[in-house]
Chains A and B, each alone.
Chain A
């Protein structure tokens, strides 16, 4: 087990390195550079070239990459070209908002989705199943930002139940924190919820036809116990997989949600950095994100052994 984890962790580092190379090539191979934007309105080409030189952008690509990679390995992600603030500081500032939003979304979506999927599978073919799956299909057909605007219009502007925008840190109160995350979490979680519900249903259907379920029923187990005690555990592996895959979807959706609801998270930080060609931020965030993504996948894989003892590596 320990060896397995060690192997997976080293694979994580490899992936992060690859991401670093991909992103670096992407940025530097493309036309344009931050120098022109930094130089400002009335700069001459000579001034732009000077700034280019000072940023070290006129050195050979391999050299630039080498310098950057060497610093990253030592934990220094550089400073933002535009604000002069270290990348890690910016990430730290923005991290709590994105993490809060993601956690609330996953908790809400996963819980409701699994329950809905289980019941849909139980009553497969019936009205409940069709209605639930119909709603689920709608859930990931409408874009996040449209859902977001509708929710704001209904719950914040018309009914005044919830705040319109912004993020309040947990330290300022649980109620405030949660209130600011309900609408964005719902908007973001809808597509996610739909996906998990469908996979849960599919997975449960496979399992429910198995013999051991009939045995449990014959032995007098209640429907709830059959569903959640026996079937769900066995169906757990694909469900856990899709929760893991969903994290990737989530990160994409987070960018849109943060824009609509004005949440100062990492998604928006990166989008702004891309527009400004603020290379250190883009490179740093992409590498960090990729590391997080791979680690989450590792945890999902490890969770398989918890859910289904038959899987052992």
Chain B
């Protein structure tokens, strides 16, 4: 690089002045953890949005009635005793001692009832509960009573769900906000307070330990157990540039990097002060949703063609590069989850088979209609997969066209039910937490109830009947058997196209320890930094 002597001298001088600052970036005193999380925190209402980062915020500032442990079983959290009547229709939840809002007022059952109602509007598990509920009310300040019309085995699972939106308990006045508008409050009853003064939206988010939080006595496990906080402050730095974030971790300027791109792992791992940890053992699952309302994907055969067209290994390798971290998988229930199975997956052994895909397209009566593939350029997985899919479609003579935009615009456009020429779409790519795919009631993407469902709007009565059966299954064995029938049906009518599954480790300095693994949330209690 062209530099004059003066510039070199200036640089060297600045370097020496800065050395003490670089070697010990933080002075002794309060223990602060600096983390780069998976995205920017745009919404402070974890019930209104499904964005995972908002759920992380929720876990810092709010608390839940029940939480899942590391075996994915619901455990009481804000509740200390609960009971179910003999006819299995009446649930009574009693709040434990010491629960308070961060403005020092006590948490009451009325707050909880309002919060559950609001959450239930936005979460499909909650919808399932309220559809079968006769009454939900606060018996007194510390007791909540839920009366069901008929027994429903998934009540606790739904209340404890870590699939967003999570049932965070908010103060009554916030919980009475319309579920389709964002709350303005930032006060919760959780282990951290949100430090609005030091926060700079878009740049950094600051959380302080809340001394008045009373953790449970049991051991922390997943989102259950005692939430004991050992850090004084947690700062989320929004470093958008991944190369810069990795370099910052290497240099010790940040302590934790949630999702470093897999390509950078070798560079990160070569630093002896850094270790990797998979925060989410069930990983993530990619899916390509097709628009079932308009041609060509309103025909089953066109949708099934996609199953033969997509080369999962290519899709996964394009973004993740290292076979150690990815698994092609044909199950609608993800890879390695309790419900994963291989019913009706003969097509998977044959894929990729472009000739067969082309044949199926022709049999579906394809007349050359445009196929618009939404391409989110700011997320590597979506970006790469969209390009591959469009390329493969073009290769078999389908008139595929990429529409490049950022993710915010994708989520706006995918909501449109219009045809292509009026701002519609045909294919979009997304991914979700692997664990979420194990529950077809709480994950709306696994529904096939047409226009009431999730974007793509697949519709099949037989599948829906099976899904209701799954919700009412009494045992896990029964659930698994129904799951196999669901999948068999799904691959007959083309629910969606799976893109495979992967895990992605977090990278952190070796001075950091105690992160709990959890499918959907990265909790900061139990974490120490030396």
Contact = CB atoms under 8 A, between A and B. Distances in A.
B241 A182 contact: no
A32 B15 contact: no
Interface size class of A (residues with CB under 8 A): 35 or more
Given A150-B1, A165-B247, A41 B17 contact: no
A147 B3 CA distance: 13
Interface in B1-33: 1-4, 6-7, 10-12, 14-15, 17-18, 20-22
Contacts of A261: 244
Given A80-B201, A175-B20, A164 B253 contact: yes
B299 interface: no
B4 A42 contact: no
Contacts of A269: 202
Contacts of B131: none
Nearest to A93: B200
A122 interface: no
A151 B15 CA distance: 14
Interface string A178-206: 11101000100010000000000000000
Contact of B43 (A40, A108, A149, A259): A40
Interface stretch (B61-69, B150-158, B220-228, B405-413): B405-413
B474 interface: no
Interface stretch (A83-91, A217-225, A297-305): A83-91
A162 B15 contact: yes
Nearest to B200: A93
A41 B14 contact: no
A32 B42 CA distance: 19
Interface string B174-207: 0000001110100000000000000011111000
A47 B180 contact: yes
A161 B253 CA distance: 14
A100 to B, nearest CB: 13
B133 interface: no
Contact of A108 (B10, B122, B200, B240): B10
A286 to B, nearest CB: 17
B414 to A, nearest CB: 9
A262 B15 CA distance: 19
A165 B250 contact: no
A176 interface: yes
B138 interface: no
A261 B248 CA distance: 10
Contact of B248 (A162, A182, A262): A262
A94 B444 CA distance: 40
Given A165-B239, A260-B244, A174 B17 contact: yes
Contact of B17 (A178, A190, A259): A178
Contacts of A268: 202-203
A264 interface: yes
Given A179-B18, A264-B204, A164 B2 contact: no
A41 B22 CA distance: 42
Given A32-B412, A163-B253, A165-B244, A275 B17 contact: no
B201 A85 contact: yes
Contacts of A156: 247, 251
B387 interface: no
Contact of B14 (A51, A84, A116, A182): A182
A269 B50 CA distance: 24
B415 interface: yes
A116 B17 contact: no
Given A93-B200, A179-B18, A32 B184 contact: no
Given A161-B11, A165-B247, A179-B15, A42 B201 contact: no
A197 to B, nearest CB: 11
Interface in A29-76: 32, 36-43, 47, 50-51
Contact of A151 (B1, B200, B237): B1
Interface in B460-492: none
Nearest to B411: A41
B49 interface: yes
Nearest to B34: A166
Interface of A is mostly: helix
Contacts of B411: 37, 40-41
A7 to B, nearest CB: 39
Given A165-B244, A179-B22, A112 B204 contact: no
A308 interface: no
B287 to A, nearest CB: 15
A165 B50 CA distance: 31
Nearest to B16: A175
A157 interface: yes
Contact of B2 (A47, A90, A135, A166): A135
A80 B43 CA distance: 13
A241 interface: no
A93 B205 CA distance: 13
A112 B2 CA distance: 12
B243 interface: yes
Contacts of B333: none
Nearest to B2: A135
A175 B21 contact: yes
Contacts of B415: 36, 41-43
A164 B254 CA distance: 11
A42 B411 CA distance: 9
Nearest to B267: A157
B57 interface: no
Contacts of B428: none
Given A47-B180, A175-B17, A165 B248 contact: yes
A138 interface: yes
A168 B48 CA distance: 35
A135 to B, nearest CB: 4
A176 B253 contact: no
A276 interface: yes
Interface in B330-350: none
14 contacts: A32-B409, A39-B180, A40-B43, A42-B444, A51-B181, A80-B201, A161-B11, A163-B253, A164-B248, A165-B248, A168-B21, A190-B2, A262-B239, A268-B202
Interface of B: 1-4, 6-7, 10-12, 14-15, 17-18, 20-22, 40, 42-43, 48-50, 122, 180-182, 184, 200-204, 237, 239-241, 243-245, 247-248, 250-251, 253, 406, 408-409, 411-412, 415, 444, 454
Given A161-B11, A186-B1, 14 more contacts: A39-B180, A41-B415, A42-B444, A42-B454, A51-B181, A156-B247, A174-B17, A175-B18, A261-B244, A262-B245, A269-B202, A275-B408, A276-B42, A276-B408
4 cross-chain pairs, A with B, having the tightest CB-CB distances, nearest first = A179-B18, A175-B17, A264-B203, A83-B201
